[in-house]
Amino acid sequence: MHRVPSSGQLQVNGWVTDAQKQTPIWVLAFDEQGNLLGFTRPLENRPDVTQAVGAEAGFRGFVLPANINFSARRNVELRVISKDIKSSCKISNAEASS
């Protein structure tokens, strides 16, 4: 997770998989009050993850830009929506700072 200079955005890069080792449908970022900061579909090719954890062929990671006010420290929560909606989950609660 890093701040994009002079853009007022936070950029979160990574990957997450479900129990079936499949690429999720959506990754969403929320602030402490539950406001949506940004969302993305995993589109980044990640053959390293496919190989390392035995994920599905063509596994994808994500780059998620999130609009955030950096005047104060804030926590950012990432949530994942999987192909099986029942296995959607919160995956991170990281502090965003300037």
* Domain hosting residue 63, numbered range: 2-96
Q: Is residue 41 pLDDT above 90, yes or no?
A: yes
Q: Helix (H, G, I), strand (E, B), or coil: what is residue 7?
A: coil
CA angle, residues 77, 82, 86, in degrees to nearest 5: 95
Between 51 and 8, residue with greater pLDDT: 51
Cβ burial, residue 24 (10 Å; 0-12/13-18/19+): buried
Q: What is the CATH number of the domain that holds 75?
A: 2.60.40
Looking up tokens 């596994």, which residue turns up? 59
> Whose CA is closest to 22, among 92, 94, 91, 80?
80
Q: Helix (H, G, I), strand (E, B), or coil: what is residue 51?
A: helix
> pLDDT digit string (tens) for 43-78?
999 999 888 888 888 899 999 887 776 656 567 888
Q: What is the pLDDT of residue 39?
A: 92
Give the mean model confidence (pLDDT) for residues 26-40.
Answer: 88
